[in-house]
A and B are shown apart, each in its own frame.
Chain A
């Protein structure tokens, strides 16, 4: 098998690359699924208000939306009917402190939210407290924070710890996870809106979530808000963009799903090609083994073992590649698969923003995923080598010995 070392290394690398792509696509697919759930669950009655052109933050949660003036919040709160909740959010990033993978440090997102309202995760879902307490109406002006489980674990932060947010220090009172049960979005900090405003000297919210009393009033409320706020602001209902968003997300999800299959089929094709090459080269050897009395079963086992070893080495290389370069691979994959989506919702579709968008993806490889990939790699080895091996052992010894 390893008689031709350069070829073996090349094959292992190709299979490894396919496996790295497979794992990455799988993770992207999983995370996109979480986002899609969030959008679907909240689409009926939710409206967002942002500075014009700032919608990248909606889907992307990148924290890059331009802040609005505080007066906008007043206009929204006091002049609009049918509204059951208004949640202004200030979104900022803390550079560093996030999980580092392959030289890429995921930014920590700080959200300033009105603690008297339901806390909304920009990443999808709502807050679910695992330790300590949540923020409440008593915390409106307090220097307190709740932090995500991932942030807490990466930065060794617990209840009572002091962390720096903007120019201020705040005390951690609670640790949260997401209501969806996903790790996605737990690499963040939530502080009271006023605390964030002070800490970052923000002129106003980055985004305002407006919840309308029922779905039938959404269009009227959007229209009313747009009239009040003028063209400097974009007022969009999630229901109006849901289909576009769904299409965009579905297209990425489909691309990543296609990528899964392409990666698997490529790896299987490479394996089959290599096994055909190996068995062709070694057909005479198979003839010799048959001539000296080896059973077909023993020959098949030997060749299967060789191809499974190749596939397992490819798996190891693939996992190493994924750990080292999973983030970069995601950016490359998504920027190449997402063009053509609605530019307005750049957070999901605009190639230029994908890096930021998926910077917060969860790149933890679960033992289940490792096991699944290993089983797939072994299956690849067997499937890829099935035809060439069966073909080779079905030859009569004399035919195999004549083979050059």
Chain B
């Protein structure tokens, strides 16, 4: 695993709050160390007041740590100026909140477009992309509904579409199912899993739920502002196994395999469905894409002969 695989690295991050009515500052994070791999789905679990949301806000630059280092994509965001932080939030991070936080007087479509407005994306492109994203999250028949006319699950889908608008490399979701019934919550998590798998987006979910961590690659448990445990789930282990199989089968470098896995090609089956053009988009080189496609075809043909 190379260093570029680590999308988020926190080193000894502390965060104190000064709140009104209290002389002493409240310590929310007490020296958090954490590493998040690119393209993984992470759960942060812990009781109320343990510092989960603060941790998420520090990663998302909604708040700055009192001390320590927060490196995202190799850059220390605690050293960034206001302008750089704004750009970081717009380009690198997509937020999903428990209470959706959609703008009430804008429609679903306009809410998604709004995120792109922050980056001055041309109006036509904004509209096209917002339509595509809302279709992707299954909201194509609710485009012109205002948030008050949407159910909780629908509003959260719109919020996810908004979070994806600027193609962020990380989605930070703060209890995204907290206001939803279990079946709606499950469908939202499935949507996030799908995004992680298909788009290779790193997803960090703060949750109280015991069910969500089972679907994630890694779960951090936080208590009194400190990470108390870090547990890999079955999904990550499976991914690692698949990565190894793929590397051997294709005789490819770790870098190439990472690119394929991050793009959602976890096995020969999924690779066999990809066109050369699609592989070229992932690998950035047509010759390499053609070589991989050829090997995949050979492996599939052999598989059929053996069968």
Chain A residues at the B interface, C-beta cutoff of 8 Å? 3, 284-285, 287-296, 298, 396-399, 401
**CB-contact partner of B57 in A3, A284, A298, A398, under 8 A:** A398
**CB-contact partner of A294 in B63, B86, B162, under 8 A:** B86
What are 11 A-B contacts defined by CB distance under 8 Å? A3-B104, A288-B103, A292-B90, A292-B118, A293-B86, A293-B87, A293-B90, A294-B86, A295-B83, A397-B62, A398-B63
A398 with B62, Cβ < 8 A, contacts A292-B115, A293-B119 known: yes
**A residues less than 8 Å from B105 (CB atoms):** 3
**CB-contact partner of B95 in A291, A295, A396, under 8 A:** A291
**A residues less than 8 Å from B95 (CB atoms):** 291-292
Interface string of B50-94 (1 = CB under 8 A from A): 000010010010111000000000000000001100110111000
Q: Which of B60, B91, B105, B118 counts the most chain A CB atoms within 10 A?
A: B118
Tell me if A's interface is mostly helix, strand, loop or mixed.
Answer: helix
Chain A: CB-nearest residue to B163? A292
Residue total for B at the interface (Cβ-Cβ under 8 A) = 26
Smallest CB separation, B209 vs chain A (Å):
22
Check A396 against B119 for contact (C-beta < 8 Å). no
Smallest CB separation, B167 vs chain A (Å):
13
Q: Which of A287, A296, A298, A397 counts the most chain B CB atoms within 10 A?
A: A397
Smallest CB separation, B179 vs chain A (Å):
15
Check B89 against A290 for contact (C-beta < 8 Å). yes
Q: Which of B89, B119, B162 counts the most chain A CB atoms within 10 A?
A: B89
Q: How far is the CA of A3 from the CA of B54 in the complex (A)?
A: 31
**A residues less than 8 Å from B86 (CB atoms):** 290, 293-296
**A residues less than 8 Å from B202 (CB atoms):** none
Q: How far is the CA of A294 from the CA of B101 in the complex (A)?
A: 15
**CB-contact partner of B91 in A284, A293, A294, A396, under 8 A:** A293
Interface string of B132-162 (1 = CB under 8 A from A): 0000000000000000000000000000001
Interface string of B103-142 (1 = CB under 8 A from A): 1110000000011011100000000000000000000000
Q: How far is the CA of A298 from the CA of B83 in the complex (A)?
A: 12
CB of B201 closer than 8 Å to a CB of A = no
Check B101 against A284 for contact (C-beta < 8 Å). yes
**B residues less than 8 Å from A287 (CB atoms):** 62, 101
Q: How far is the CA of A361 from the CA of B211 in the complex (A)?
A: 80
| CB-CB contacts below 8 Å: B22-64 with A | 54, 57, 60, 62-64
CB of B166 closer than 8 Å to a CB of A = yes
**A residues less than 8 Å from B97 (CB atoms):** 288, 401
